[in-house]
Structure 1
Amino acid sequence: MTATNTPATRPANPRFSSGPCAKHPGWTLSALDDAPLGRSHRASVGKAKLKAAIDRTHALLGLPDDYRVGIVPASDTGAYEMAMWTMLGARPVTMMAWESFGAGWVTDAVKQLNLDATVMEAPYGALPDLGAVDWDTDVCFTWNGTTSGVRVPDGDWISADRAGLTLCDATSATFAMDLPWDKLDVTTFSWQKVLGGEGAHGVIILSPRAVDRLESYTPAWPLPKIFRLTKGGKLIEGIFSGATINTPSMLCVEDYLAALDWAEGEGLSGLIDRATANATAIWDFCETRDWIANLASDPATRSTTSVCLTIDAPEGTSKRIAKRLEAEGVALDIGSYRDAPEGLRIWCGSTVETSDIEALLPWIDWAYHAETAA
């Protein structure tokens, strides 16, 4: 293929951003017409919408009956920091990081909370030694590294009889990967990722062990109001039934409910299969070319949502490829994350159509040859 041999087919939807992510197939603005705009989220209609979002999330994910789901402010970041600030410090902690967001949680634990944490790190493309984790400690980790395209392969490495809690940032895994809920005590995500919702809202999922920690432990540091999950030593149950900590956007909630309408039609296994098919198309493309490869060094750890690729070419080539594809209108926002190695990052979550991934790949080929032609 040469720079002049442009592909004949274009993706129907060129949105491959890793967040906020593509809307679900068939999304229309009119789906939000029932949003109770200008109404209090404390009114019966607002609380009913929020409770529906919570209950339907619980059901679609197949959570155990005694797990709680809450909608909280500030996206996945707010949800995860809420968990760290309210639960860490009760026992030793292990912080795991293999990309920028995990590294951010390390900074929070060590420099903000001043915890004497055990830090287990790995470079972009790899994982730390999962077999070396001390399960007498609380363990903080990301399930899927959104900026590295590296995920943990499964939950087998997590001890079933752990003494500490697991705090899992699963924002680019929830609804697209099989999560072992019996191994996860605190799980956070944002609906702007796999279900393509609007930004600024986070979700926190608590196991009974996490609730026990909240009700039996008081941190040594002050807690901002938006982080407080207990009152008088008891869980604030209202957070998990639709009484959010601060004012949510009812337009965003309505958009999430519309996404759940679509997702429930696919089913959790269908959502997982869609993401896997998308990622597999890219992996197969890379296998037949010697100039592009998955950043994840071990195939078992390759992300099926945030697929990160490296390109064997002079520095700056990947950025120019991304700009060329955006100028052609065939791929938007696919440059690698600013802290990650130079390359491409293509979102393959459940709302993306495999046909769009397949239409994009010849364009990547075309752009590479256009940028590297002598």
Structure 2
Amino acid sequence: MNIQLDPAKLPSVTFSCGPGQGHPVIRQTPLYKTLFERSHRAPDVSTRGLYHETAENLRTLLSLPTGYTVLFFLGGATPAMDAVIWNLTKDSLSGLAFGAFSRRWTHNIAARLENSVRRAIREAGENEFFPCDKPDYNASLIVLTPNETSTGVQIPDDYLRETWAKRGQDTLIAWDCTSCAGGRVLPAGQFDVMLFSLQKCFGAGGGSCALVLSPKAVSRLEEAKKYHPIPFSLDLSEAVRHAASAQTANTPCTTNIWMCNEACKWMLANGGLPAMEHLCREHADYLLAWAAQTDYIAPLIKDARLRSFTTLTLEITDPDVKDADISAALISTGLANLADGLKKYSSVKQNSLRISCFPFVDVHGVEEYKKLTAAVDEIVRQLKKR
């Protein structure tokens, strides 16, 4: 693609929605300092060291209720979703499906459960981005995705509070917070399970995640085994047992946990989660203001209540401008940070761009976003001249 851009004016960060931008200090740390060569059983790494410290920092950052268990699980969010579905579903499951990752809960994983499990899945209708129907509040497990990475839709706080308030006596509520943990202040203590990859707001590598379980969720672990067998690698009871002494059942990626911990320490030292939400909102607000001034782009999600400010999706309204051409032009610069372009998620049909607004994309404000939007404006100008 013959688009000419001035390299000196281009951003120096990635706007990919995962793996996301890491903090500059973390990115400049020599790999050997991340303890990746150490045994995960060594006390200074686990019980009295990195694992314990990271769990406590997450507990503080996310304002977790007393008695909730924090553990690190192998793989990203998908294996953790698998584990939650198998370990905590009894005879019924409910949830919302409004994008690729929420559907992963409700369709890809839940479909593997026995046919006897009752399913009440609420789906977004045609040309809608969020379901009109509420979940079955009396299901044994309700699965929710507060921020949907693929479409840039978020579940409003009042919806999350209502679900918690109306839940049945034997109902557990699970959140996949992969795209908002570390960037959004969620209603405190309104969940039994929280899971998230470390690769989004925390800027760590892929393939690692954290799980948070309430005492009620922990007590469900043995009970659920009466309903169906739990695959060995997904058995959370073993992970919880090890977490009691800041250990893991299997060998985790210590480098990712180290990166998460450094991110937590920086976040806590710089205003905590409210400050991180402010950064994300500042990034998103700048992009929305820029979009409003153009004649070719607008927010895909029109309802501000449902619009995520951690991953923002912008729809290209000019039929002569294609999202693939914009991404191709950015990729053609040869800069590693722009190698992913601004690609929409594969399941999204609209002609659109997907841009991360995570805290570490620009910890000082919006200067990197100004460089990005200037580059996109220039790309579009050159495309229209053809």
Q: What's the CA shift for 1:311?
A: 0.6
Candidates 341, 349, 369, aligned match of 1:357: 369
The amino acid across from 2:40 in the alignment is H
For normalisation by structure 2, the TM-score amounts to: 0.88
The amino acid across from 2:119 in the alignment is A
1:64-213 matched pairs, under 5 angstroms: 64-88=65-89, 90-114=90-114, 115-122=117-124, 126-129=129-132, 132-137=134-139, 138-154=141-157, 155-163=160-168, 164-213=171-220
Q: Which residue of 1 aligns with 2:345?
A: 337
The Cα offsets for residues 231-270 of structure 1, whole Å up to 9 and x where unpaired, read as 6xxx833235422121112222222222222222221111
Q: Which residue of 2 aligns with 1:322?
A: 327
**Distance across 2 between alignment mates of 1:219 and 1:76:** 25
Candidates 258, 263, 268, aligned match of 1:259: 263
Whether the aligned pair in 2 keeps the contact of 1:17 and 1:332 (CA below 8 Å) is no
**Distance across 2 between alignment mates of 1:34 and 1:25:** 15
Q: What's the CA shift for 1:5?
A: 9.7
**Distance across 2 between alignment mates of 1:8 and 1:288:** 24
Q: Secondary structure at the match of 1:127?
A: coil
Q: CA RMSD in A?
A: 2.4
**Distance across 2 between alignment mates of 1:295 and 1:242:** 43
**Distance across 1 between alignment mates of 2:217 and 2:10:** 44
The amino acid across from 2:216 in the alignment is R
**Distance across 2 between alignment mates of 1:16 and 1:282:** 12
Whether the aligned pair in 2 keeps the contact of 1:66 and 1:208 (CA below 8 Å) is yes
Structure 2 segments unaligned to the other structure (5+ residues): none
**Distance across 1 between alignment mates of 2:71 and 2:352:** 36
**Distance across 2 between alignment mates of 1:118 and 1:71:** 30
Are 2:289 and 1:284 equivalent residues in the alignment?
A: yes
Q: Secondary structure at the match of 2:221?
A: helix
The amino acid across from 1:317 in the alignment is K
Moved more, 209-218 or 63-72: 209-218
**Distance across 2 between alignment mates of 1:296 and 1:259:** 30
**Distance across 2 between alignment mates of 1:247 and 1:124:** 44
Moved more, 313-322 or 179-188: 313-322
Q: What's the CA shift for 1:168?
A: 0.9
The amino acid across from 2:120 in the alignment is T
Q: Which residue of 1 aligns with 2:247?
A: 243
Q: Which residue of 2 aligns with 1:19?
A: 18
**Distance across 1 between alignment mates of 2:257 and 2:63:** 21
What percent identity do the matched residue pairs reach? 26
Q: What's the CA shift for 1:208?
A: 2.1
Q: What's the CA shift for 1:68?
A: 1.2
The Cα offsets for residues 296-316 of structure 1, whole Å up to 9 and x where unpaired, read as 131111111111111124487
Q: Secondary structure at the match of 1:183?
A: coil
Give the aligned length: 367
1:212-231 matched pairs, under 5 angstroms: 212-230=219-237
Q: What's the CA shift for 1:116?
A: 3.0
Structure 1 segments unaligned to the other structure (5+ residues): none
Q: What's the CA shift for 1:125?
A: 6.1
Q: What's the CA shift for 1:322?
A: 0.9
Q: What's the CA shift for 1:6?
A: 6.1
**Distance across 1 between alignment mates of 2:204 and 2:237:** 28
Whether the aligned pair in 2 keeps the contact of 1:23 and 1:196 (CA below 8 Å) is yes
Moved more, 31-40 or 19-28: 31-40
Q: Secondary structure at the match of 1:180?
A: coil
Whether the aligned pair in 1 keeps the contact of 2:195 and 2:209 (CA below 8 Å) is yes
**Distance across 2 between alignment mates of 1:28 and 1:57:** 20
Q: Secondary structure at the match of 2:163?
A: coil
Q: Secondary structure at the match of 1:175?
A: coil
* Distance verdict in 2 for CA 1:28–1:286, change over 3 Å: closer
Q: What's the CA shift for 1:161?
A: 4.5
Q: Secondary structure at the match of 1:188?
A: strand
Whether the aligned pair in 1 keeps the contact of 2:23 and 2:203 (CA below 8 Å) is yes
**Distance across 1 between alignment mates of 2:299 and 2:316:** 9
